[in-house]
Amino acid sequence: MAKEKIEVMYSEEEVNARIRELGAQISADLKGEPVKLVCILKGASFFACELAKRLTVPVYMDFMYVSSYGNGTESSGNVRITKDLDAPIEGENVLIVEDIIDSGHTLHYLSQEFQNRGAAKVMICTLLSKPDRREVDVPVDYVGYVIPDRFVVGYGLDYAQRYRNLPYVGAVEF
């Protein structure tokens, strides 16, 4: 198995501190209203857990698995739900929690889908965003870090299913 070199971009301490800030901001914006976090598996799982712990409003959680990627590094633009939510979201405040926005296809599709299902409000929170790669516009409410066009791993993000468990965010040097 090839071994890639990984350069640390954001340490575990930095990421956790940033997530605390996001949690405080989201809690303030929600003004006591409950929120359903929709965690997009598998990449956002680490982020969603950490974020949920920092919210002071009532939190509900659900999980969805979508795929638009193979084992490579390019989005196909064609999104498919492989594991759906357990419960309807009609009338709820939904916060989609994603690891990274790249082309924007995944979140464009999901925010449309959740509107169609009758959510009262659909918000998006992503740990990372690569605006240079955007192919479709997505209104993002909360972003951890805006990053350049590099392939990143760790804190839930994978390269061909590896490196999710790295406690920091790192860039792969191919």
Rg (the chain; Cα; Å): 15
Candidate segments 15-23, 45-53, 56-64, 148-156, binder of ligand IMP by CB under 6 A? 148-156
Please identify which residue in 36, 64, 103, 140 interacts with ligand IMP, judged by CB under 6 A.
103
Sheet holding 80-83, edge to edge: 80-83, 59-67, 35-41, 93-101, 121-129, 142-146
Among candidate residues 62, 86, 102, 158, the one labeled active-site is 102
Whether 149 sits among the annotated catalytic residues: the reply is no
For residue 130, give the 3-state DSSP assignment: coil
32, 88, 146, 153, 170 from 7: Cα distances, Å: 39, 41, 17, 10, 5
Smallest separation (angstroms) from ligand IMP to the CB of 56: 27
How far apart CA 101 and CA 107 sit, in angstroms, is: 7
9 binds ligand IMP (CB under 6 A): no
| C-beta atoms surrounding 20 within 10 Å | 14
Query: What x/- string results for residues 17 through 56 when contact with Mg ion is judged by CB under 5 A?
Result: --------------------------x-------------
| C-beta atoms surrounding 43 within 10 Å | 22
Please identify which residue in 25, 27, 69, 121 interacts with ligand IMP, judged by CB under 6 A.
69
**Footprint on this chain of Mg ion (rule: CB under 5 A):** 43
User: Any idea which residues carry the catalytic annotation?
Assistant: 102
**Footprint on this chain of ligand IMP (rule: CB under 6 A):** 43, 68-69, 75, 98-106, 151-153, 157-158
